[in-house]
Chain A
Amino acid sequence: MSELSVNHLLGIKYLTKQDINLIFETADQFKEVINRPIKKVPSLRDITIANLFFENSTRTKLSFELAEKRLSADVINFSASQSSVKKGETLIDTVNNILSMKVDMVVMRHPNPGAGVFLSKHVNASIINAGDGAHEHPTQALLDSYSIREKLGTVKGKNVVIVGDILHSRVALSNIYALQLLGANVMVCGPKTLLPKYIKDLGVKVETNLKKALEWCDVANMLRVQNERMDISYFPSTREYTQQFGVNKELLDSLDKEIVIMHPGPINRGVEITSDVADSKQAIILNQVENGVAVRMAVIYLLASKIKQ
């Protein structure tokens, strides 16, 4: 069997297609494991993992922690709001202090883009980027692609539209890289103010009419409106955003086909999608959550296998 070409998961940009396929094949086996009566395997019993969350997170942190525990790793958790970061400690000092406790792997979320790359050059541990600012969120993109593969059989050749706040979204960027690597056709759709100026350079189609985008696609990945990242007013009102870029049952029924609806969560119900869409058969939002644990187990397992004894 091949192994991952990287020692850290810093972004999809650094992975090959073979890496992603290996992660998916391993996740298939972990998905079977997490549906057993006893959902735990002993593989990582000699590995210690630190979850360093310099930015708030609920589902990603829980998903990583569950994945680590199901692999029998020892887990320590850190959140910046309750730490010496508030007292002025630098990132490297914080991490080195934690690594002195014989930590083998670091899962890090950080508000600054590139924080994971920076850390990987300065510390001797395997780094997993759990989201760095508006840059990348590789495990989310992996689980999204994995969920499309599970639902439609393959990612190759599928039309996927990412709808919403592309400008502030690390999920969008990682998804674009992953989907393109796996052979999907990618479109972004949203208000012009939330589409980055050079987005076409990534080889994606751009659309500002949601109906047209939905008519084109097999899968619609609805992004959350990230009010906390909006330093100016990018659209007149939430109500207007919903009218133009929200998906409701009526809109879906008006299409001549059934499309798959995804959302990385947390959902603003009634904004990006209505409740009846979120809870419909077409939505695979809860499958994404389940697959997140299996995919993260696969990533951690494969990276851990490269840590020298």
Chain B
Amino acid sequence: MSQKVLLNSKEVNITLHRLACQLIENHDDFSETVLIGIQPRGKYLADRLAKILSEDYKIKNIQLGHLDITFFRDDFRRGDKPLEANTTIIDFIVEDKNVVFIDDVLYTGRSIRSALTAIQSFGRPKDIELLTLIDRRFSRHLPIQPNYKGRQVDAIDNQKVKVKWVENEGEDAVYLVDK
């Protein structure tokens, strides 16, 4: 199994700051905006971005939640592995808010489709945007595109894009792995 580094730690950091600045351009003081990390892996990116926004750019009262989409996925009973439910924490109102979905990799678009359905259980947002660290182009099953993307990647189906975070895997890096 070979792997190629797509982003190293320094590049991940630069990319995160760029994404944070892009969010500020569109959402100003975030008073009408909430950030939602898509479980399981989008939460690391969402947590990191929220930290950068509050600590480095002094945005106060960032509203950050984690959304689990397990029960809304369209592959229940279709995959080889059982689906594992994660925690949802959304302790604020999404009704009439600008929601930014945050996930590490956008691939087929099915997770985001599930997230669009899941968020409706919490209210009717004013609008929903998508931020993703890696956008795997040309692999979409559904008409979904990110509003903010860290890096675009062209990868074939038997390759996997693996995003690692210091918080759970000891390093910030993105790899392209041959399965």
Q: Are A1 and B72 in contact (CB under 8 A)?
A: no
Q: Is the interface of B mostly helix, strand, loop or mixed?
A: loop
List the 5 closest A-B pairs by CB distance, nearest first. Answer: A1-B84, A41-B71, A38-B121, A29-B85, A3-B82
Q: Which residues of A contact B81 (CB under 8 A)?
A: 1
Indicate whether B57 reaches chain A with its CB closer than 8 angstroms.
Answer: no
Measured CB to CB, the closest approach of chain A to B71, in angstroms, equals: 4
Indicate whether B88 reaches chain A with its CB closer than 8 angstroms.
Answer: yes
Q: Which residues of A contact B121 (CB under 8 A)?
A: 33, 36-41
Q: Are B86 and A305 in contact (CB under 8 A)?
A: no
Q: Are B85 and A25 in contact (CB under 8 A)?
A: yes
Q: Which residues of A contact B71 (CB under 8 A)?
A: 29-30, 33, 41-43, 71, 301
Interface size on B, residues (CB 8 A): 21
Tally A-B pairs: CB < 8 A. Answer: 56
Which residues of B (57-100) have their CB < 8 Å from a CB of A? Answer: 68, 70-73, 76-78, 81-88
- Which residue of chain B has its CB nearest to the CB of A308? B77
Measured CB to CB, the closest approach of chain A to B97, in angstroms, equals: 14
Indicate whether B147 reaches chain A with its CB closer than 8 angstroms.
Answer: no
Measured CB to CB, the closest approach of chain A to B70, in angstroms, equals: 7
Q: Are B77 and A309 in contact (CB under 8 A)?
A: yes
Q: Are B78 and A309 in contact (CB under 8 A)?
A: yes
Q: Which residues of A contact B85 (CB under 8 A)?
A: 25-26, 29
Q: Are A307 and B88 in contact (CB under 8 A)?
A: no
- Which residue of chain B has its CB nearest to the CB of A2? B82
Contact of A305 with B122 at beta-carbon distance under 8 Å, contacts A29-B87, A42-B72 already known: no
Residue in A32, A44, A71, A302 with the greatest tally of chain B CB atoms within 10 Å = A32
Partner of B77, one of A1, A30, A304: A304
Contact of A307 with B122 at beta-carbon distance under 8 Å, contacts A29-B85, A33-B71 already known: no
Interface size on A, residues (CB 8 A): 27
Residue in A30, A33, A304 with the greatest tally of chain B CB atoms within 10 Å = A33
Q: Are B77 and A305 in contact (CB under 8 A)?
A: yes
Measured CB to CB, the closest approach of chain A to B148, in angstroms, equals: 27
Which residues of B (129-169) have their CB < 8 Å from a CB of A? Answer: none
Q: Which residues of A contact B120 (CB under 8 A)?
A: 38
- Which residue of chain B has its CB nearest to the CB of A27? B85
Contact of A305 with B68 at beta-carbon distance under 8 Å, contacts A1-B82, A1-B84, A37-B123 already known: no
Measured CB to CB, the closest approach of chain A to B170, in angstroms, equals: 23
Cα-based distance from A43 to B77 in the complex (angstroms): 9
Q: Chain B, 9-20, contact with A by CB distance < 8 Å: what is the 0/1 string? A: 000000000000
Which residues of A (34-76) have their CB < 8 Å from a CB of B? Answer: 36-44, 46, 71
Measured CB to CB, the closest approach of chain A to B72, in angstroms, equals: 6
Partner of B76, one of A26, A33, A305: A305
Q: Chain A, 5-35, contact with B by CB distance < 8 Å: what is the 0/1 string? A: 0000000000000000000011011101100
